[in-house]
């Protein structure tokens, strides 16, 4: 549950980054060819996700220093083994990276369709770099079930679809991104004007019958309009063509339908989750193989442990005298388990005194073999 919460927190931050990227750029430069336009900024983010992040992960500077500099200079075998533990990583962070790429692609795909191509390349590169990192660079991760992937599929991916529906209607409604509207029934007479660019004069010629434009805000998103429909254009000027108005109305009502659908699904899932506190929801999976658990040679059990940066193996936070050592998931070839057992340390600390550890100071574990 903690991993799911961390993933939700990081994905929320990534969503804010997408919104800040949209808000921070001038509206009229959204689809321009300038280097500071919104499209170029989105492209720079994808290139950073494809190249910079993966190259740094592949090089693993910290791990290289540990293995090639500190390991040969370690004072004993245990210190050297600690240099080869691998770089720790968080599964929630990896899911956050994937959802960020997908959310960014859906968010800006309307004005920058190449985001789908960039997202595909990013997923391809991330897959092989992560596979290499798991096998060669990263430390062993905690054994988790399918909760993270199910949580991501049910909530994060749904959020990406909602962002696609919303931003498609808003960004299509803003074309041509110039904040200009034609004044109805207006025309000009032929005229010639002289203007200056710096100190250089230029001649501007206006032909007779040219249309007259005036400023009008085309940014429905900034105006807080929902849904983005053609009827919300200002009365003093329209910028949409007839075909554009039809498309915008279709996209606008589609975004309302998508939002309504996911709201209903969310409350349905919330109701099921809340109801599970009052009735049993266990469903068995698989089938009975007619093999006793004790007959499986590769089994291990949950033993309370603590990871420490000072030791190559985790510290045991319970007394394991009453269990079979084969139930442990790891074994130090050079030291016994008592070396890592915190209960033995307490006995040494209190030896010769009247003090003793409280019975609830450590966890308890027992084994009843057949």
Q: Which of 160, 133, 123, 132 is nearest to 46 (CA)?
A: 123
Which 3-state string (H, E, C) describes 292-355? CHHHCCCCCCCCCEECCCCCCCCEECECCCCCCHHHCCCCCCCCCHHHHEHHHHHHHHCCCCCC
Helix (H, G, I), strand (E, B) or coil at 214: strand
Residue 5, pLDDT score: 43
Q: Are residues 307 and 171 in the same domain?
A: no
Cα–Cα distance, 321 to 149 (Å, whole number): 38
Identify whether 150 is part of a domain.
yes
- Tell me the torsion sign for CA atoms 113, 117, 122, 124: positive
Identify whether 222 is part of a domain.
no
Identify whether 344 is part of a domain.
yes
Residue 2, pLDDT score: 41
Q: H/E element holding 245? A: helix 242-275
> Which two tokens mark 305?
């442990």
Q: Are residues 19 and 154 in the same domain?
A: yes
Residue 1, pLDDT score: 46
Per-residue pLDDT of the chain (370 residues; tens, 9 = 90+): 444 444 445 555 556 667 777 777 777 888 877 777 888 888 888 998 899 989 999 999 988 999 899 999 988 888 888 888 888 888 878 888 888 889 889 989 988 899 999 999 999 999 999 999 999 888 887 777 777 777 777 778 888 888 888 888 888 888 888 888 877 655 556 667 677 776 777 777 767 666 777 788 888 888 888 888 888 887 777 788 888 889 999 999 999 999 999 889 888 888 887 877 787 767 777 788 888 877 777 777 888 888 887 888 889 988 888 888 888 888 888 888 989 998 888 888 888 788 777 777 888 888 887 7
The count of structural domains within the chain is 2
Identify whether 242 is part of a domain.
no
CB-based contact 228:255 (threshold 8 Å): yes
List of residues 6+ apart from 168 with CB closer than 8 A = 109, 110, 251, 255
Identify whether 255 is part of a domain.
no
CB-based contact 109:120 (threshold 8 Å): no
Q: Are residues 22 and 167 in the same domain?
A: yes
Residue 298, pLDDT score: 77
Domain boundary among 159, 176, 193: 176
Identify whether 254 is part of a domain.
no
Identify whether 239 is part of a domain.
no
Identify whether 74 is part of a domain.
yes
> Which two tokens mark 193?
């004007």
CB-based contact 31:37 (threshold 8 Å): yes
Q: Are residues 167 and 303 in the same domain?
A: no
Find how far residue 117's CA is from the centre of its chain: 19
Q: H/E element holding 77? A: helix 77-82
Question: By residue range, what is the domain housing residue 354?
Answer: 299-370
Residue 362, pLDDT score: 86
Domain boundary among 132, 152, 176: 176
Domain boundary among 154, 176, 198: 176
Task: Tell me how many degrees the CA angle 86-91-94 measures, rounded to the nearest 5.
Answer: 100
Neighbours of 205 (CB within 10 A): 8
Q: Quickly list DSSP for 169-196.
A: HHHHHTTT-S-EEEPTT-----EEEEEE
């Amino acid at each position: 549950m903690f991993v799911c919460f961390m993933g939700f927190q990081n994905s929320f931050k990534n969503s804010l980054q997408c919104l800040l990227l949209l808000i921070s750029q001038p509206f009229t430069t959204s689809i321009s060819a300038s280097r500071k336009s919104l499209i170029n900024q989105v492209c720079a983010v994808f290139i950073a996700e494809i190249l910079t992040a993966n190259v740094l992960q592949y090089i693993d500077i910290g791990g290289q220093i540990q293995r090639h500099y500190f390991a040969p200079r370690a004072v004993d075998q245990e210190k050297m083994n600690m240099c080869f533990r691998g770089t720790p990583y968080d599964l929630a962070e990896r899911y956050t990276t994937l959802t960020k790429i997908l959310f960014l692609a859906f968010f800006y795909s309307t004005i920058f369709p190449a985001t789908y191509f960039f997202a595909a390349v990013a997923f391809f590169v991330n897959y092989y770099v992560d596979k290499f990192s798991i096998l060669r660079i990263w430390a062993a991760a905690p054994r988790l079930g399918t909760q993270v992937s199910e949580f991501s599929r049910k909530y994060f991916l749904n959020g990406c679809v909602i962002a696609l529906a919303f931003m498609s209607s808003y960004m299509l409604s803003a074309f041509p991104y110039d904040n200009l509207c034609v004044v109805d029934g207006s025309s000009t007479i032929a005229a010639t004007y002289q203007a200056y660019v710096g100190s250089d004069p230029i001649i501007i010629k206006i032909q007779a019958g040219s249309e007259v434009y005036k400023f009008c805000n085309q940014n429905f998103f900034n105006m807080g309009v929902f849904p983005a429909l053609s009827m919300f254009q200002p009365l003093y000027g329209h910028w949409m063509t007839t075909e554009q108005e039809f498309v915008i109305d279709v996209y606008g009502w589609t975004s309302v339908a998508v939002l309504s659908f996911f709201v209903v699904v969310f409350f349905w899932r919330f109701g099921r989750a809340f109801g599970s506190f009052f009735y049993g929801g266990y469903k068995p999976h698989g089938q009975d193989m007619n093999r006793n658990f004790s007959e499986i040679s590769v089994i291990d059990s949950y033993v309370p442990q603590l990871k420490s940066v000072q030791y190559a193996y985790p510290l045991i936070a319970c007394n394991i005298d009453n269990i079979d050592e084969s139930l442990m998931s790891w074994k130090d070839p050079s030291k016994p388990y008592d070396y890592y057992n915190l209960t033995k340390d307490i006995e040494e600390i209190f030896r010769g005194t009247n003090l003793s550890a409280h019975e609830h100071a450590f966890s308890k574990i027992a084994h009843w073999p057949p």
